[in-house]
Amino acid sequence: MTAGVATHNGRALALKDVPFLEPSQFRGWLVNGVRDKGRRIASYFGVAGGPESGPAADGIGLVAVLADDANGRLSVARASCDGASFASLFPEIAQAHLFEREIAEQYGVTFEGHPWLKPVRYHHSYRPGHDAWGRPSDAAIPPGVMDFFRVEGDEVHEVAVGPVHAGVIEPGHFRFQCHGEQVFHLEIALGYQHRGVERALVGGPTKRTLPYMETVAGDTTIGHALAYSHAVEALAGTQVSARAHAIRGIALELERLANHVGDLGALAGDVAYLPTAAYCGRLRGDFLNMTAEICGSRFGRGLLRPGGVGFDLLPAQVEDLRSRVAVARREVTEAVELLWDTPSVRERFDHTGTVTPEDAESVGLVGPAARACGIQRDVRHDFPAGIYRFVHLPVMTAHHGDVNSRAYVRWLEVQQSISFILDQLDGVPAGGPGAAAGALKPDSLVVSLTEGWRGEICHVAMTDAAGRFSRYKITDPSFHNWIGLALALRDGQISDFPLCNKSFNLSYCGHDL
Amino acid sequence: MLKALLARAHQGHRTMAYPAGEPPAMPERFRGAPTLDPAKCPDGCRSCADVCPTDAINKDGPLALDLGRCLFCMECVTACPDGAIAFTNDYRLATRRREDLLARGQELALADALERNLRRLFGRSLKLRVVSAGDCNACSADVNVLGTIGWDLGRFGINYVASPRHADGLLITGPVTENMRLALRKTYDAVPSPKIVIAVGACAISGGPFADHPEQHGGASSVVPVDLFIPGCPPHPLTILDGLLRLLGRVEEQRRVPRG
Ligand code: SF4
């Protein structure tokens, strides 16, 4: 066996069909897939000992998922690791970088040859007594304390920002190596938001699993709840009604609209263009209120559940939503188009925070950040599930990889999401909102992908012999994209940081879990 | 320029009339203050407590629901065979004391205004430093939204400021992760006295869904004294605004609302 097993988004596999490759073959499969075949790592994680970890019972198992965007195929393979060390892939494939750091931190494994093997979230390992950095298990692990990359030299200086920032935003620490205004390097240290979500998911599903999913990243409640629902439905063999699929699609696009519109306003605010900032700030709320009209919560809490949706759409609500969306379309168009017509905005957006397509491919960016570099990558198009199997959405791209391109891709997607919602409202299929999902298949694995507003959300669920989660791995799009923000700042000006940061608007808690 | 002016004319004046006028209408399915009717509970029934994701319901004695833990998910309502729990769309939920969040079917003691001397200091100008300490960004987002033109928090003299040194108090969201505990403590210490603390959301009040995780500390009061509790997951912006205005003594009518 030299390759992974082929699978699709949201299809349950028996664990025994997921091959264990020899470590050298496992690495070969990944390096060859990423470097030569244009695939990328959607997920790569450890699992604790026991039968799952393969031959070495006191070791750990490694599981990787390769995504082939062009062909809509996924492949999954495993390797077993002695629990002490494993050869790093990072020298050959850059996108393995953070995954390996995460495995090192969670399972106390060192990756030989990894030049940046540092903590990710600053917590103790899941395997007491095993620590990649040899720290005693009772030692405090202060966040943000690590060996930051430093540039030395005359007039080179370091700027440290956070964890508590000036605005109403989540905590993170940013270290800039600067020469005057010019940024040589930015290193981002996160983990302040770490709440122990993945650890708590083991043994589920429980009555708390859905609330966990809804709060992985609160601004992506629908995105993560959808990935979770698809995973459970695949493992339980549940059929979801066409009506529930349609309502879920409407909810996912409303979430995208609220965030894209809000961010376009915030970008305008960051370059001191107040009209768009003021209008979009309000319009974002209008989209949140539409979600609240469906389910009572502006963030879609309780709207999705495995098996279907928790709230049905009444005919009067369909009418009401249709007219609200139509009004919002007019107002958003007017507010956002001011951006492209205003020279002072264009002057600040154009050529600021550029990420090259080569870098974007190499680090494995996802979502609007990737599409702004001209990369065709969108789960709704490449790995369609739910409603997106029936409605085909072209991938929206732009080509300069700068703040303007990231903003423009968002604007294209705003228009696309509005049309999608109006189309769905024109013909919500008959049927019920769905039933509860049943028990999960034992000893299985499923990969569930969803295109959240920030990009690809990847959940991988594995069950044990009793049909409980033995591992539930969550990869928020922010996990792939934080490095993109660091690259965007290279050789830029430090004063452009807020603007670049907002153009990505990544999740801290989605990364920290 | 012309387009910008035209847009200005179309977009119009959007700040809500509340609190002088009516509050904005809540969505029909909005879940606000619950009404409890313990008399309806059959002997020994624990259906609601068993399904509650955050163990907000105590059924060891007469039915009691802790709004400080509640996620407003409605699981208990669905599970209850006798309709003992219902959620109204009353958005007023903020209290001054943690124990006042325990609903038993009584009137909920909504937040009193600050003591006279503090009110004299902060009543017309309250500057808050917002600290996210492990929140999922939903509470942050709806705290932030109060600054947009529809809500225009600035008209009450309330502003979010960039530095704790400029602040009269903290507004805290999130369960207080271990990794944010020190930063929160330092931020609190940096605020000049007298100062106030506002805890927004189930996480900041009780730890929310993460309540028993060793990675967090079960809310803001684990680190700092809290003067105002605003429940919800996340609370609606109007619930937050109502809490802030009550604290400043700007909303006093219907201070005690009959419940259940
Ligand atoms: S609505 Fe509140 S009390 Fe009822 S089950 Fe949900 S969290 Fe528990």
Q: What number is the average pLDDT over the span A303-307? A: 94
Distance in Å, CA B236 to ligand 1 centroid: 16
How close does chain A come to B238, measured CA to CA in Å? 12
Q: Is the CB of B56 inside a 6 Å radius of any atom of ligand 1?
A: yes
A39: confidence class by pLDDT, cuts 50, 70, 90:
very high
Q: Which of residues 127-166 of B touch A (CB under 8 A)?
A: 130-145, 147-150, 160, 162-164
The pLDDT confidence band at residue B253, using thresholds 50, 70 and 90, is low
% of chain B residues with pLDDT over 70 = 97
- Cβ–Cβ gap B7/A334 under 8 Å: yes
- The structure tokens listed for B138 are 């939903």
Mutate to test the pocket of ligand 1, among B48, B63, B73 (most ligand atoms within 8 A of CB): B73
- Among protein residues, the one whose CA lies closest to atom 5 of ligand 1: B52
CA of B208 to the centre of ligand 1 (A): 11
Chain A nearest-CA residue for B50: A207
**Rounded-to-integer distance, Cα A473 and Cα B201, Å:** 27
Report the distance separating Cα A266 and Cα A476, nearest Å.
Answer: 22
Average pLDDT over residues A74-91: 91
**Looking at beta carbons, which residues of chain B come within 8 Å of A337?**
3
Averaged confidence pLDDT in chain A: 92
Query: Tokens 């049309």 sit at which residue?
Result: A419
Which residue in B98, B180, B55 sits closest to A194, CA to CA? B180
Closest chain A residue to B73, measured at CA: A302
- Predicted confidence at residue B256, as pLDDT, reads 43
Q: Which residues of B93-115 are buried (b: 16+ CB within 10 A; e: fewer)?
A: bbbbebebbbbebeebebbbbbe
Q: Is B221's Cβ below 8 Å from some Cβ in A? A: no
Please give the angle made by the CA atoms of B226, B127 and A262, to the nearest 5 degrees: 100
Query: For A141-191, what is each residue's pLDDT tens digit?
Result: 999 888 888 888 888 898 888 898 877 888 999 999 999 899 999 999 999
Mark yes or no for CB contact A215/B144 under 8 Å: no
CATH 3.40.50.970 fits B116-257, yes or no: no
pLDDT reported for residue A53? 52
Whether residue A49 is predicted with pLDDT greater than 80 in this model: the reply is no
CB contact under 8 A, B31 and A297: yes
Phi and psi torsions of A127, nearest 5°: -115, 95
From the list B143, B183, B209, the residue facing A168 with the nearest CB is B143
In the predicted model, is pLDDT for residue A439 greater than 50?
yes
Q: Is the pLDDT of residue B254 over 60?
A: no
Residue A192 has pLDDT above 90, yes or no: yes
**Inter-chain contact A171–B183, Cβ cutoff 8 Å?**
yes
Give the position, in ligand 1's atom list, of the atom nearest the Cα of B79.
5
| Mean pLDDT along residues A306-335 | 93
Work out the average pLDDT over A18-37: 92
Q: What is the tens place of the pLDDT at every residue in A410-422?
A: 999 999 999 999 9
Q: Are A353 and A402 in contact (CB under 8 A)?
A: yes
| pLDDT(B143) > 70 | yes
One-letter amino acid for residue B29 of the chain: R
Q: What is the pLDDT of residue B59?
A: 84
What is the tens place of the pLDDT at every residue in B205-241? 999 999 999 999 999 999 999 999 999 999 999 999 9
Residues forming beta bridges with residue A452, ordered by sequence position: A455
Contact B149 A281 (CB under 8 A): yes
Enter the pTM of the model.
0.94
Q: What distance lies between CA B38 and its chain's CA centroid? A: 25
Q: What is the dihedral of CA B46, B47, B50, B53, to 10 degrees?
A: -130
Question: What per-residue confidence (pLDDT) applies to A1?
Answer: 63
Q: Is the pLDDT of residue A52 over 60?
A: no
Query: Cα of B85 to ligand 1 centre, how many Å?
Result: 10
Nearest CA to ligand 1 atom 2: B70
Q: Which pLDDT does position B258 carry in this prediction?
A: 40
Residue A285 tokens, joined:
């709320």
Coil, strand, or helix at residue A196?
A: coil
Q: What is the mean pLDDT of residues A132-146?
A: 89
Q: Rounded to the nearest whole angstrom, what is the distance from the C-alpha of residue B66 to the centroid of ligand 1? A: 9
- Contact between residue B248 and residue B114 where contact means Cβ atoms under 8 Å apart: yes
Residues A229, B126: Cα–Cα separation, whole Å: 43
Contacts of B136 in chain A (CB under 8 A): 215-219, 509
pLDDT band, very low/low/confident/very high, at B19 (cuts 50, 70, 90): confident
Identify the band that residue A110 occupies on the pLDDT scale cut at 50, 70 and 90.
Answer: very high
DSSP A340-403: HH-HHHHHHHTTSS---HHHHHHHT--HHHHHTTT----HHHHS--GGGGTS--PPP--SS-SH
DSSP string, A138-163: TS---TT-S------STTEEEEEE-S
Query: Given this model, what pLDDT does residue B252 score?
Result: 67
Mean model confidence pLDDT for chain B: 89
Domain boundaries in chain B? 116-257
User: Which tens digit of pLDDT belongs to each residue from B185-213?
Assistant: 999 999 999 999 999 999 999 999 999 99
ipTM score of complex: 0.92
The pLDDT tens digits for A238-262 are 999 999 999 999 999 999 999 999 9
State the best of B179, B185, B187 to mutate against chain A, taking most chain A CBs within 10 Å. Answer: B179
Distance CA B140, CA A218 (A): 9
- Ligand 1, residue B31: give the atom nearest the CA: 1
pLDDT score for A441: 95
What's the rounded mean pLDDT across residues A64-71?
Answer: 95
Give the position, in ligand 1's atom list, of the atom nearest the Cα of B233. Answer: 7
What is the predicted pLDDT for the residue at A51?
Answer: 56
Report residue B257's pLDDT band, with 50, 70 and 90 as the boundaries.
very low
Could you give the domains of chain A?
5-112 (3.30.460.80), 203-477 (1.10.645.10)
Best probe of the A interface among B77, B159, B215, B240, by most A CBs < 10 A, is B215
- Residue B142: its chain A contacts at CB < 8 A? 298
Mean pLDDT of A182-210: 94
Binding site membership of B102 for ligand 1 (Cβ less than 6 Å): no
**Region B63-74 average pLDDT:** 93
Which pLDDT score is estimated for A510?
95
Average pLDDT over residues A7-20: 94
Q: Where are the beta strands (DSSP E) in chain B?
A: 34-36, 57-58, 64-66, 85-87, 102-103, 108-109, 126-132, 158-160, 169-173, 196-200, 228-230, 256-257
Query: Residue B70: CB within 6 Å of ligand 1?
Result: yes
Residues 89-128 of B with CB under 8 A from A: none
Q: What is the pLDDT of residues A224-238, one digit of tens each?
A: 999 999 999 999 999
C-alpha–C-alpha distance, residues B205 and B254, integer Å:
24
Q: Decide if A176 contacts A154 (C-beta within 8 A).
A: no
Strands (E), A8-96: 12-14, 20-21, 40-47, 60-68, 73-81, 85-87
